[in-house]
Amino acid sequence: MKTTALVTALLASAALAAPALAGKADDTLNIAWSGELPTLDRYYNTLREGIPVARLIWDSLLFKDPATREYKPLLAKSYTVVDALTVDFDLREGITFHNGEPFDADDVVYTFTYAADPDNGVLTQRNVNWIDRVEKLGPYSVRLILKAPTPAMLEYLSGPLVIYPNEYYAEVGPEGMGRAPVGTGPYRVTEVEPGRSITFVKNDGYFEGSPKGQPSIGTIVQRTIPDQNTQLAELMSGRLDWIWKVSADMAERLARVPAVTVANEETMRVGYLMFDASNRTGNASPVNDVRVRRAISHAIDRQTIVDTLVRGASQVVHSACHPEQFGCAQDVTRYAYDPDKARALLAEAGYPDGFAIDFHAYRNRPYAEAMMGYLNAVGIRPNLVYLKYATLRDQVYAGQIDFTFMTWGSYSLHDVSAITSHFFKATKDDYARDDDVIGWLETGDTSVDPAERRDAYAQALQRIADQAYWLPLFTYNVNYAFTNDLTFTPTADEIPRFYLASWK
């Protein structure tokens, strides 16, 4: 860790002197990230970076304005909610796919029918499993029929559900689409070197009046560079124009480099401590006792962790959801940092000398260690069990975990159903098993009346906070670093919009 920090320091100091030669000169935006995209087919890829790539290549029926969060028609011209289970769409005319295929109702019917068919094994079923069927009403109009009322429907229709060209996809399938994608979006893909690089070229025929806006930069080249220090070196030597997920300490040093802009934006990801409140493990753990859970909640100084470690735009959260999500009630029980109160609660629960407990975590080890320090201070002796995500999640599902530090990104959905309902509705993730909470969440998830939903969620969230089933910790943030020549605005949904980037 120390050696890496030293190298970072060296890199930053070297960069102070080095001139940046950005891609502005040849109108090519060079970007990089760590993970290899397994495929470009949006429906068979769960890597985060697949989302910004999909937004370049394809369009969905609707578009969510990142600033106002308003849903606007994109490939649809307009839409009508006929009833809770029926939505009609009028589609735009005169749009063509990158391969020249015209866009019409058949493409929408084909794409949704394909994606909703479980046999096709789309990787994220929750994006599509609410679709019952799609009917063609005319050459440019379709009817979408839902299985059940789906409050988050507009989120899906404006996000993951991109529209494919029916003839091309029927011919090449997921494998062909993954290597040579074709869409209607602002950029078309001209070259894919699997896992290594993707070249995008501006779609000059991108339709007028798209709420996404018109693309500006001529070419975008994405490269996969696993090591963050190497990314940094590439940025410094002018061979890259944009990187993201830069660590907090590196971002601080980078901010002093004149040729580089560092931007920070909050994300939908929330960190939390999960307690086995219902004794699902059968271990008779101290955290079965609400007084112990409250004691832990008072013992940890979340604000200091945010200020010193998480930094950026992050904030402490008190409710078991992201404050920006619909239904995330904020007037719930709060646990101020108060070690004396924590000790008193522990004594009251029968642990005047504290206790030892396994504390699980899978990411952000420094945050976990900071929390352990606070727990030690009130007499609790946590034993850190640091695991890979898949392993920890396995154990959580199997009901083997008493106490763990986890995070959740809600698929960037601005709705409480994507987090609170996921964890507290008697799912495998649910260690609270509170029947009232389950009932309230069910009401919130199925009602189409926003006021009723808000009320139901508020009740559930207040109970979760009062009983300290979770200790919500803080929101996460992302650091972006890019050349000064670039105009780029990060958004809170953690989806970089390269089609809006331009040169200064």
Partner 1 sequence: MTRFFVQRLGLALLVAVFVSLVSFLMLRAAGDPAIAIAGEGAAQADIENIRIQYGFDRPLVVQYADWLASALAGDLGRSTYFNATVAELLAERLPITLTLGLCALSFSIIVAVPLGVLAAVRPNSLLDRLALTIAVFGQALPNFWFALILIVLLSVQFPILPPSGNETWAHFVMPTIVLGYYSMPAIMRLTRTGMLQVLRADYIRTARAKGLDPLTVLFKHALRNAIIPVVSLSAVQFGYMLGGSVIIESIFALHGVGQLAWESISRADLPTVQAIVLVLAVLYVGLTLIGDLLNAWLDPRIRVA
CB 496 within 8 A of CB 477: no
Q: What's the number of CA atoms in the CB half-sphere (13 Å) around residue 483?
A: 30
66 binds partner 1 (CB under 8 A): no
Rounded Cα distance between 471 and 465, Å, is 8
Specify the 3-state DSSP secondary structure of 180.
Answer: coil
Touching partner 1, residues 206-235 (CB under 8 A): 223-227, 229-230, 233-234
Which of 5, 25, 27, 36 contacts partner 1 by CB under 8 A? 36
User: For partner 1, which is the closer residue by CB, 381 or 388?
Assistant: 388
Residue span binding partner 1 (CB under 8 A) among the ranges 15-23, 95-103, 209-217, 290-298 = 15-23
Minimum CB distance to partner 1, residue 18 (Å): 6
Which of 330, 427, 489, 502 contacts partner 1 by CB under 8 A? 427
Which of 30, 39, 364, 475 contacts partner 1 by CB under 8 A? 39
* Residue of 233, 355, 337 whose CA lies nearest to 283: 355
Within the chain, what is the greatest distance between any pair of CA atoms? 74
14 binds partner 1 (CB under 8 A): yes
Which of 304, 391, 489, 502 contacts partner 1 by CB under 8 A? 391
Touching partner 1, residues 235-294 (CB under 8 A): 236-239
Which of 94, 118, 209, 282 contacts partner 1 by CB under 8 A? 118
Specify the 3-state DSSP secondary structure of 142.
Answer: strand
CB 359 within 8 A of CB 372: yes
194 binds partner 1 (CB under 8 A): yes
User: For partner 1, which is the closer residue by CB, 7 or 284?
Assistant: 7
Q: Which helix (DSSP H) or strand (DSSP E) does residue 179 occupy?
A: helix 166-179
Residue span binding partner 1 (CB under 8 A) among the ranges 37-45, 200-208, 275-283, 335-343 = 37-45
CB 302 within 8 A of CB 316: yes
Rounded Cα distance between 486 and 496, Å, is 13
Tokens of 105: 């109702």
Give the contacts of 163 (CB within 8 A, at least 6 positions apart): 58, 59, 60, 61, 75, 103, 107, 108, 111, 183, 184
Amino acid at 10: L
174 binds partner 1 (CB under 8 A): yes
Minimum CB distance to partner 1, residue 348 (Å): 36
User: For partner 1, which is the closer residue by CB, 86 or 247?
Assistant: 247
User: For partner 1, which is the closer residue by CB, 170 or 397?
Assistant: 397
User: For partner 1, which is the closer residue by CB, 152 or 349?
Assistant: 152
Phi, psi dihedral angles at 431 (to 5 degrees): -105, 5
Which of 117, 334, 428, 502 contacts partner 1 by CB under 8 A? 428
CB atoms within 10 A of CB 504: 9
Residue span binding partner 1 (CB under 8 A) among the ranges 310-318, 342-350, 406-414, 477-485 = 406-414
Amino acid at 428: K
Phi, psi dihedral angles at 91 (to 5 degrees): -100, 155
Residue span binding partner 1 (CB under 8 A) among the ranges 10-18, 152-160, 208-216, 478-486 = 10-18
Tokens of 370: 């900071």
Q: Which residues bind partner 1 (CB under 8 A)?
A: 3-4, 7, 10-11, 14-15, 17-18, 35-36, 38-41, 44, 46-47, 118, 121, 123-126, 129, 174-175, 178-179, 194-196, 223-227, 229-230, 233-234, 236-239, 387-391, 393-394, 397, 408-411, 422, 427-429
